[in-house]
Structure 1
């Protein structure tokens, strides 16, 4: 039985205007008509189509109603394991599966995600490849499981285990969610275990277990196929019927009953974290499942209590008692249950009992006052902007429709949910607080640095945490070259024949307008009216380049301070004014720039620009805020000292640029430089270096040139030009010979690798051709040799990549990865071998794959407002022609194998690189001498 239904929705807008100045303005009503249709195949497959003609792309997503909640205790991690397995191979796609196909057709990269309740697989492709994607997704669902063999399973177990080490075991506070869920939900509850599963369960999984799980859950009647973008629906229906129609229906699947966490008493637990440098308190209360009527008020409650300077928790814990740089709260909802979370990472040495007391005091004050109407309007304005933002890509639209279909049993919920969000009242917010939070039991975890148990909550018990031991040679061996035969799944037609391309899409390079102002400021814009939003960016050359090396971090502190009030507005008043417009305004500093960026509803562009002008030209210079920001930055620096990835990034900078180069520093500074900085230093930087002739304004969205330019003219009317002189930077060169450097983190579960050297500026004529050359080496994800060899071939890593990272200055060529500790030498040696052989091994097939991806992917290059803004940034920063994308396309078309080989020989020489490893020196340091680059240099003395 088939059905076809069409839905439309009206996006209801709020009256966001407050105060006398805005009282007479009436917001325009904006109507969005989303015309989608659904139908169901005889085998139970639900299909949703959404047509969007704005770009020649189409997003295809397959969403299975299975996550970790459908697993058995002791056999956890299976849903996430299948997220990986389903990309590898199927009967008719062959080895490489969707990843290999994606590289050929110019897709965004086949990807997926797993939650407690669903697994999805998705990518966006040029619309001429739609039939290929439907064929491939059907093959994954109906013609896949026979290709999963013992060696394939053994290898992918290693990849998933590496992901767990990278995301959990080797991260500060990585085990927090494990401890929370283990104690919030009783044994046997499907949320008691983590989505990624346990290392032991993954290792114990048999091939029979895996096939049983697939055959039960990955069946048409448990799957939603979403296709969104520029395509012909009648033709697509025929393809869906052809490729999916004969896949057999699976067993009937019953919905699981809601199972809220039935916590009877408060539980307090602690853990000494090997990577933590600061104490962290996390609290979790049982709440409600997704789409429960109370979920919307709980979301507002979390936002009001914790977000921004007007938030009660900010006022009490951040500004008042100065216990922490921020407080995070969120309502984590899932299909069967929910949990309301509060997290506070305190400053160094702060007793978490003090934090807990401040939390309880803040709740008491909230009980007495509730949420003001003005704050509720402010929060809803932000939710409106977020709603529009979620519709800015075809993939985002497809995700939403599938989510509603599976968990609300109604894709038409896309019509209704905004009403539930906007209907929340102050009384609702207080009601859910009293029902779910006040005097209710919770789970509290204290994660503290080693040997600092005195900072934990009083009465806490030791948490059960599984930590992997480093054992050399402990992983299962596998041979992927072993010849495997299997019985093919029958079909009514020959599925081994890949469908042809459709008509080639024409790359739509957006029309760009520009305007130069008398002050020297340049404006670049793109008008796009798909959603009523505008995104903008004001870039000012400078950043860390203009800083005193003894006081690195000035521009970063200045960027933070500029949003902390203006001459006539307190920090709280400025934040409120921004949020009531449904806008966001951010200021950040980079190595080479100061950037003011943001987004706003179209109707509020002028008012938003008035606030940008205040921020830029009328700073408040608030002493109290300056002191608070310094404390927060120092706390961040302390945290980065414990994060292996941050350590690798900072140490690699020093190797590449040398101690005396300004770019060798992290632009946030270090504890010493930040301590030295005064408010006067920020004023001097502001007065001497922020100049309109060094600035450009980039704007994209639902706005015309005249309106945008007028807004910017107002911005620059009182902005004076300064005489700014940039110092000449010393030249950096590659090392004459390779050297290994090691940063010791005792007990590290992974080794973080940074391998490379100073290579090219983006303005160098070789930069783009070298990037083309790098695609098959390490830039093309699953199409790259590094990924194929280290992840797919050996299971050494969850991910590895390489690339050129230049700007207007020479930047590094970098190979980066996290590999399991006990094969550190083997991984580095294999990278070295691949680099040594790359030039010689590159062939016509490699060139064909490179050209296919890099040309076809242009069709989806400008789909979102963010991608359009990035395009303008490249044109301005690197003086590119407006059609540079088409010119780069010609470079790719015309490049030859000999040219690629020459570029590889010139820029990928493993014998002239820095090899930096951040890991466990006790087990791995000495082995690295076998690389042939001499004795490794230990660059720190780790605390034992």
Structure 2
């Protein structure tokens, strides 16, 4: 993936020749397609609900089209295509995105396809079509040796972050090498190997591009608010003259069959708990058995009614969670069952419990009520998947590319609904019962005895930490190249077309007799309602001696009610096609979820039960304790979790409750009693400190009527909220190090207390941060550490929004052997920012901040978050419009003053989580004294 936290599993549509309308009840998705003479397939979907348009290219090439020894090319290309093209110049789509207020040019790679996508204000559509055409027809000449050398480092950093430097990161590598035979296109990982990436030559790259990135292997999707006839003209103008490539044949399906069961183990440097994964050969996407397999996986493992949950979690108490899923791809599939066991649990006992569960399932099958329960969520899931213009395009495309039938947008739900109990048992017997599988045991270092008996040691390639091992490159080097001819001057960027009118949703509010506030937005685009009951409190109402109370309260509130067992409550929710979650955070306890609009009233009845009639089940309370202790143990091996937890201690001071892990500590969790949990519940929840937020296809009247029962039954009382101190900047910077021996990356958490989200300077400070580290590829931190040096996969800075003084933070993971160099560069960028921010920076910042508002309210989730900010921080209903005015007033001097005030590199905490033996001592050269080792014996809490 190009960008952090962007895991996009949907695909884009290819259809030829007609206009269709697919309908579920009264909802329709209309689309029109046409082909260019060069083979490019184009799909249009119009949606005028918001002034935005999504544009995407999908190439039918993923890791399955690579060759052994040259793996990772498809993913490497995903990165390269954002860097530069002949007519956009350096920075390509990323620079354009910043100027036009786009969502950020992004992409993803799978085994079978690579896609590139972005949502932009509607006035920028021609610019995006121009840019996407440049990527497809005017790109490859810009890839030079320095460009390739730098991007290799970025991709290798991504692999370290996603695979090498995290617990259980090598699981799929071990499974796929043993499930698929050598030569099978799924035998290797999408991201490739470090060795293959390093060995890639410039000619390899050009050959790959010329073979696969041709119009007849690519789909262009445009969805949103646009004029179809005008868009067709632009598509023809910019794409017609790109030459067709050689014909490309579809790959044959390649399902696999195991001749024997394979058991393998790996001692994981980061894992603190043993994990067992069982993988059976399965079916390719949309195979006739895939629907029953999906329901089988859901029934066996998902939720409190699942047989595996009942046996492994409740009865045997081997784990807190069981997951099972049918992972399908274009050519083959794999059915996977995964259990992360409790500390020191032998995985043979886990496997035996799984086998016992299967025996019971063979006797009983799947009850009809569970079939109904599982199917009830399908309608809600469908609507959720199409709540944005990009989501609608993704959903349609999925069916054409893998099912070869766009009309499958109707058929899939029906296929799932047609699955019978007999079908579920049939696929169990066909793919699981007495069938061979791959079993992987990932265990903590030195705990091989926890692995399955007779397991063989898995082959895992571990990178050595070697100083100066990476090749040098000069990313700023100017290189000339031959330009691709065109019938017109493509260097001229198209103009904006009109000006999008920002549609700020109309907000209504009310007050219940109990004192509970209500806020909402009515939106009928999809027949869903999202809701959130937000109650002030959370971790802030705890004491250090009782840390973890609010988290445990949130957990137990979904473990049944006085009238329903945990399984009965879950079943009642799922039969409505609804979801209800309870979550505790620093400042609040929240009951949230979504439901079909037609089931809103019944869903609120269940929210009322959850809120006002907890079950207080002793057995569930003990289970929650065990699960929480297991999560705390698990976090000890995750460098990112370690960084987060240790940074809080530095910011808030070790004696303040905010410095504690929200889960609590092993000591406080172990000591908590059910009576203390009840007291905390009775003392700290009141409708007078609660707001109900709702967004979706429901009126104010129906919203209020649905929660009258909650208000009438919830006794109001005044709550005392503790005063929160004004957390202060450190007098001088200091470096802190947390040792994770053998770490492949160093995780950075740099920062200091800054300001509250209620402060009138909070939003101007966010504007100031855009060019520093908040603007992704438009930011200096990204441009210099990723694009300039190849030190990291990603880096960002942000102000944490809280009602109290929250921190300014810079976070990243950098390759281990340049830890000091990267930290020094971050310090220098921050130090120079206030004095070097200029008029051009301000112009780009203002353009993005104002134009991106067109995307501000597109989804129900975005609208709900707007209500949340208004409620939490006291913003005006039209605060988005007022922010536009505020941005327009800011000057270069204003930004420089804000940077000096809130971003001082000489008064920060510099926390690094990494390999102390090779990296810590050098950090003294930063000039902030000798680094403090946090997990030395004398410093451990």
Using the size of structure 2 for normalisation, the TM-score is: 0.98
Pairing 1:383-422 to 2, within 5 Å after superposition: 383-422=378-417
Pairing 1:519-918 to 2, within 5 Å after superposition: 519-918=514-913
Which residue does the alignment assign to 1:22?
A: none
**Residue among 204, 222, 234 paired with 1:239:** 234
Q: Distance in 2 between matches of 1:685 and 1:482?
A: 62
Which residue does the alignment assign to 1:97?
A: 92
Q: Distance in 2 between matches of 1:122 and 1:240?
A: 16
**Residue among 455, 458, 461 paired with 2:456:** 461
Contact 1:689 1:722 in 2 (8 A): no
Offset at residue 723 of structure 1 (A): 3.0
Offset at residue 806 of structure 1 (A): 3.0
Offset at residue 880 of structure 1 (A): 0.7
Which residue does the alignment assign to 2:11?
A: none
Q: 1:2 to 1:113 in 2, by over 3 A?
A: closer
Which residue does the alignment assign to 2:9?
A: none
The C-alpha deviation readout for 1:622-658, integer Å capped at 9, x for no partner, is: 0000000110011001001110000000000000010
Q: Distance in 2 between matches of 1:769 and 1:482?
A: 36
Which residue does the alignment assign to 1:9?
A: 22
Q: Distance in 1 between matches of 2:735 and 2:319?
A: 38
Q: Distance in 2 between matches of 1:428 and 1:40?
A: 40
Offset at residue 686 of structure 1 (A): 0.8
Q: Distance in 2 between matches of 1:795 and 1:401?
A: 37
Contact 1:8 1:415 in 2 (8 A): no
SS at match of 1:364: helix
Pairing 1:242-253 to 2, within 5 Å after superposition: 242-253=237-248
The C-alpha deviation readout for 1:601-636, integer Å capped at 9, x for no partner, is: 111000000000001111110000000011001100
The C-alpha deviation readout for 1:427-453, integer Å capped at 9, x for no partner, is: 111111110111110000000001111
Which residue does the alignment assign to 1:483?
A: 478
The C-alpha deviation readout for 1:387-443, integer Å capped at 9, x for no partner, is: 110010000111122222222222222232222121111111111111011111000
Q: Distance in 1 between matches of 2:859 and 2:655?
A: 40
1:358 and 2:358 are equivalent in the alignment: no
Contact 1:10 1:32 in 2 (8 A): yes
Pairing 1:497-512 to 2, within 5 Å after superposition: 497-512=492-507
Contact 1:128 1:503 in 2 (8 A): yes
Contact 2:15 2:400 in 1 (8 A): no
SS at match of 2:32: strand
Contact 1:224 1:402 in 2 (8 A): no
**Residue among 294, 302, 308 paired with 1:299:** 294
Offset at residue 724 of structure 1 (A): 1.6
The C-alpha deviation readout for 1:334-362, integer Å capped at 9, x for no partner, is: 00000000000000010000000001110
Q: Distance in 2 between matches of 1:480 and 1:357?
A: 55
Q: Distance in 1 between matches of 2:643 and 2:368?
A: 47
Contact 1:45 1:221 in 2 (8 A): yes
CA RMSD of aligned residues (A): 1.1
Which residue does the alignment assign to 1:940?
A: 935
Pairing 1:104-253 to 2, within 5 Å after superposition: 104-253=99-248
SS at match of 1:444: strand
Gaps of 5+ in 1: 12-29
Question: Which sits farther off after the overlay, 256-265 or 63-72?
Answer: 256-265
Q: Distance in 2 between matches of 1:7 and 1:366?
A: 43
Offset at residue 481 of structure 1 (A): 2.3
1:38 and 2:33 are equivalent in the alignment: yes
Q: Distance in 2 between matches of 1:346 and 1:631?
A: 11
Offset at residue 712 of structure 1 (A): 1.4
SS at match of 2:454: coil
Contact 1:634 1:671 in 2 (8 A): yes
Contact 2:291 2:419 in 1 (8 A): yes
Q: Distance in 2 between matches of 1:6 and 1:831?
A: 52
Q: Distance in 1 between matches of 2:73 and 2:396?
A: 25
SS at match of 2:76: helix
Q: Distance in 1 between matches of 2:333 and 2:286?
A: 10
**Residue among 906, 914, 917 paired with 1:919:** 914
Which residue does the alignment assign to 1:25?
A: none
SS at match of 2:707: helix
SS at match of 1:35: strand
Using the size of structure 1 for normalisation, the TM-score is: 0.97
SS at match of 1:153: helix
1:282 and 2:277 are equivalent in the alignment: yes
Which residue does the alignment assign to 1:27?
A: none
Contact 2:513 2:711 in 1 (8 A): no
Contact 1:661 1:730 in 2 (8 A): no
The C-alpha deviation readout for 1:803-834, integer Å capped at 9, x for no partner, is: 11031100000000000000000000000110
Contact 1:88 1:98 in 2 (8 A): yes
1:335 and 2:348 are equivalent in the alignment: no
Q: Distance in 2 between matches of 1:155 and 1:292?
A: 41
SS at match of 2:433: coil
Q: Distance in 1 between matches of 2:820 and 2:656?
A: 31
SS at match of 1:329: strand
Q: Distance in 2 between matches of 1:52 and 1:806?
A: 33
Contact 1:786 1:800 in 2 (8 A): yes
Offset at residue 2 of structure 1 (A): 11
Contact 1:61 1:399 in 2 (8 A): no
Q: Distance in 2 between matches of 1:191 and 1:4?
A: 33
Q: Distance in 2 between matches of 1:882 and 1:722?
A: 28
Contact 1:157 1:203 in 2 (8 A): yes
Q: Distance in 2 between matches of 1:70 and 1:461?
A: 30
Q: Distance in 1 between matches of 2:591 and 2:522?
A: 20
Which residue does the alignment assign to 1:17?
A: none
Q: Distance in 1 between matches of 2:375 and 2:254?
A: 30
The C-alpha deviation readout for 1:300-321, integer Å capped at 9, x for no partner, is: 0000000111000000000010
Q: Distance in 1 between matches of 2:120 and 2:554?
A: 38
Contact 1:155 1:478 in 2 (8 A): yes
Offset at residue 519 of structure 1 (A): 1.3
Contact 2:15 2:43 in 1 (8 A): no
Q: Distance in 2 between matches of 1:168 and 1:897?
A: 42
SS at match of 1:34: strand
Question: Which sits farther off after the overlay, 858-867 or 258-267?
Answer: 258-267
Contact 1:382 1:583 in 2 (8 A): yes
Offset at residue 483 of structure 1 (A): 2.2
Offset at residue 3 of structure 1 (A): 5.4
Contact 2:276 2:439 in 1 (8 A): yes
Which residue does the alignment assign to 1:66?
A: 61
Aligned residues: 925
Contact 1:289 1:337 in 2 (8 A): yes
